[in-house]
Amino acid sequence: MFDRFIVSHQAGSQRLDRVLRARYPQSGRQAIQQLINRRQVQVNGRIVWLASWEVKHGDAIAVLAAPEQLPDQPGRFDPAWLIADEGDLIAVDKPAGLLSEPKRGLDRPSLLQLSHERFGPLTLFHRLDRDTSGVVLLTRGGTINALLAQAFQARLVVKEYRAVVAAPNRLAASGVIDAPLRPSQRRRDCMEIAEKGGQRARTRYVVLAATAARAWVRLFPETGRQHQLRVHLSALGAPMLGDRLYGVAESAPRLMLHAHRIELPATIFGVARAYVAPLPAGFEPASDSFLTK
């Protein structure tokens, strides 16, 4: 038993997830959702697995396991994050656990906010999920935004991610995952593969190495749908380690997904430019792995 308490609000009923978020402010919404999904919460002695369950004043809540806490947040921009400052464009290496941009209702720092304090007004040209690390592009405005938008729309920008995924799985040595995505019918914070309709989503991959329990993969998204890489790999039995939404959060200390490299075409600066975020610990194949062809 981790915690036991009595609900003490007078104004009608409240959703269970909101009560728990108020009780554990250092845990994020997803961590509270996971706690409920895994049937680790009891209300008046009954296990409850609905986040929307209405609890009333005087209800007894028992939490059977500790909710995951959000990682410590930086208070200022770390100079080590800077990859390049091209004047109109800045490339940074976002750490895992830091929001890309402010989120309504969540008083947490973001990369955009911290970068603004360091460099002045900036636009976040694209974003990464909070738990994903790696290259993010910010701009100071002007024609650079139009040039980048044209390059992305024409698919002239090459993005490479690195991931560590569960094994055994159904990944070939290399391949293409072409599966449309849609919002999940079961969880509003998730995506899923659409049997009909949906938005087109296409990912190229190469398996670098593997052991009996994990594999190291290069990923090249050709479209940019929400959670695309995480959903595509999970669908082939290869969820990313540490993935709290599509895998097992406890399998790694963080989501093992890293935006390693972005290559811009010559249409931006006259010559092609590549920005690389060094691989964090654990993203290089282990010594006991075998290389794939």
Strand order in the sheet with 60-63: 3-6, 60-63, 41-43, 46-47
Asked if residue 219 lies in contact with residue 96, where contact means CB atoms within 8 angstroms, the answer is no
Active site residue 129: yes
**CA count, 13 A, side-chain hemisphere, 95:** 17
What's the rounded Cα separation, in Å, for the pair 244 and 99? 16
Query: Annotated catalytic residue: which of 59, 93, 129, 131?
Result: 129
What's the rounded Cα separation, in Å, for the pair 95 and 289? 26
Asked if residue 35 lies in contact with residue 62, where contact means CB atoms within 8 angstroms, the answer is no
Concatenating the DSSP letter of every residue in 226-293 gives TTHHHHHHHHTT-PBTT-TTTS-GGGSSS--EEEEEEEE-HHHHSS-EEEEPPPPTT-SPPTT-EE--
Looking at the annotation, which residues are catalytic? 129
